[in-house]
Amino acid sequence: MHPNLETAYQTTGMAEVRHKVLRNTYGLLGLSMIPTVMGAIVGTNMNFGFLAGSPIIGMLAILAVFYGLVFAIEKNRYSSAGVFLMLGFTFLMGLLLGPLLQLAFKFSNGGQLIMTAGAATALVFFVMAGIATTTKRDLSGLGNFLTVGAIVLMVAVVANIFLRMPAFHLMISAAFALFSSLMILWQVKVVVDGGEDSYISAALSIYISIYNLFTSLLQLLLAFAGERD
């Protein structure tokens, strides 16, 4: 085969693989919203009083389950088992929305604020995904910035478990909203550039960013636009 033709063939093949991974990522993300909504409906009608009684132990238990499922999904990132684990994970994440949604429904405009947060999250996702898909810039440096940001945010979250400062909590929520938006941009760009060959791993990481973005925006909206009955 002529070298130029062989190079063109390889380039086309790589582009097709990247497109397939991106398409499947979006497909799994869309599918994951179904168990998330189902979990949220169940969670809204659950009693989470046990978490209020032992917030630190409850948080540690949730983190253990969260990272356990993430580890299991990554171990099965190339098999159908990973898809089913992903759907179970998203149901659990929907379930964990229960306390926040219960709080939202205590406001007279809670339902409206939930829809606003959802619409804003979708808008940010489409904008960031669109930029990542079309930009030619190298965003690898953004990954280092986000790594540092993730560490800082985790330290802040743990610290506020003990401090319980409302103003600090809102600052963390605002930081998480910005961080999650940039994470979506970077994660989609990684897939577009061929840096991720598992659509399950890609969907998992993007889903977590979307989830964090939604919860952060909703908390900010409840704090600044919530109307008590």
Taking the domains of the chain in order of start, what are their residue ranges?
Answer: 1-223
Cβ neighbours, 10 Å, residue 26: 17
Residue 165 has a pLDDT of 87
Residues of the chain with pLDDT under 70: 1-13, 50-55, 229
Residue 12 has a pLDDT of 59
Residue 109 has a pLDDT of 95
Tokens 């898809």 sit at which residue?
83
Residue 211 has a pLDDT of 97
Residue 8 has a pLDDT of 43
Task: Determine contact, residues 30/83, Cβ cutoff 8 Å.
Answer: no
The pTM assigned to this predicted structure is 0.91
Residue 13 has a pLDDT of 57
